[in-house]
Chain A
């Protein structure tokens, strides 16, 4: 059995073994398929979610390790139907190609902006290097993070 708080909602999953990686509980048991599977080994970042605001690889995190903590997935990045500035910037910069890595990219980027409101290129590189993009959208990811940071700064 596991008890998880996902996107502000409590879930008690009787049938799930607590050793199951968080990724598969989210996808198969909770139907939150926005979080993606890419490698299962912590290498690609497609499965990135936030645990208490920190980006983690859900494919290598047993769900037991996430119990009692705030799990946030891509499905809750837009609050009340309003896109997060990063999501808006992703659309404005037309970041995605295949789009498969982008949920993980956004969850890493959102965690970065939450602790650093005006990241440098080097900050972006170090925060985002855990997220592979096989299609090579890195240049746009950088540009979109900068532009979201500017918007957030402007609003503050």
Chain B
């Protein structure tokens, strides 16, 4: 469904991504892990067309998407959340999501239907009760849920989640993991998720790939990854989290 070959991205002399190959098949939840500065967010930005890679191709449903603008990539069916949340602060939760319905699709509905649909998505993400709250007044957990809800509103076929669990308390974490699973199971959306909270990634991912200094060092099922020498080395000092 989403496939990238030979992706490289340099910031000055720093290689944020070096010849990365990745493939996300339809219907899976794929984890993307790696220490800080490994290039995970950069990979998301490259997929979304925020940065143009210095080399490589990215194919979505068989078509090359490099060179497209972010908004076009969104309309083709890739949704994304930000590691540092970026809600429309002064708009209500409901309006935030309605914007996604109104602008993120090729054939958007009218305002009224958009609002109705947004409400259903809010219900799904557990934000219905807070629909009139201004986005800036939400808790972090709710802001992260809102990020996902707004991305869902654009009707993505694949969703890129950037650290949606980090910073949440244990109960919130459990809820978030449940929701992510439901997004795949009930809405049929493929998911690529970046996460530092190992327990969470290990639990929800069908496959995991590991980036380190911009290079892919491992890929496979969660249990394989935990045993991989290079991964353990990359996370040296953080080994205990496995």
- Our verdict on whether A and B bind, yes or no, reads no
Binding site for A on B (CB under 8 A): none
CB within 8 Å of B: which residues of A?
none
